[in-house]
A = this chain, B = another copy of it.
Amino acid sequence: MEKKQVPDIVIARLPLYLQTLNRLDQDGEYNTSSKDLGKKIGISAAQIRKDLSHFGEFGKQGTGYSISFLKEKLEDILHVDKVWDMALIGVGFLGHAIANFNGFQNHGFQIKCIFDNDPEKIGTKIGDYEIYDSNRLEEIINQKKIKVAMITVDAEQAQEVADLLVKADVKAILNYAPVKLITPKEVQVQNIDPILELQHMTFYLE
């Protein structure tokens, strides 16, 4: 129910709060405040309090937030109190880098299988992961009940891969290909594209 009511822009900020709490936790801190968090994130304390108020009362007037408590609550809200199995499709330089990234597991995700259509790559391994033939994408993702996938294929192939993922009942796609994917409304898509971010910044440069 809450999902309809909370603006998506608020949801987009919650992972940033969790990231910052994780860092404070690693640094051995026990408590924080909306002011302290806001300073670290570059958002006003009032905004943070307002964002969190959509989900309940997590702090105490004067004493602020318990870091471990707020972390737990945010993990719960974002559904990363469990670990999501992920599929990775496309083993170019970027797919390779992502397969070797060791930051997923502690934040609610783990790569479970990798796909490519290059016969020279199929059957080889990256770390612990065998690379499967993209032809088997629907079969294997269905069988492993994977709901989250990352696309690191070329722009030209990305929509075709996305269509297969949707057929395999994947519900969230992180798309690294520089193309807007068309998917059913119930499938979440987020895009990662350095060009978009760079051009956003150069607007402000002389």
Contact = CB atoms under 8 A, between A and B. Distances in A.
Contact of A109 (B77, B195, B204, B206): B195
Contacts of A203: 3, 11, 14, 77-79
A180 B100 contact: no
Contacts of A188: 201, 204-205
Nearest to A86: B198
B98 A194 contact: yes
Interface in A176-202: 178-180, 188-190, 192-202
Interface stretch (A57-65, A89-97, A112-120, A133-141): A89-97
B195 A104 contact: yes
Contacts of A153: none
A178 B19 contact: yes
Nearest to A74: B199
Given A108-B198, A192-B194, 4 more contacts: A16-B180, A18-B199, A42-B180, A104-B195
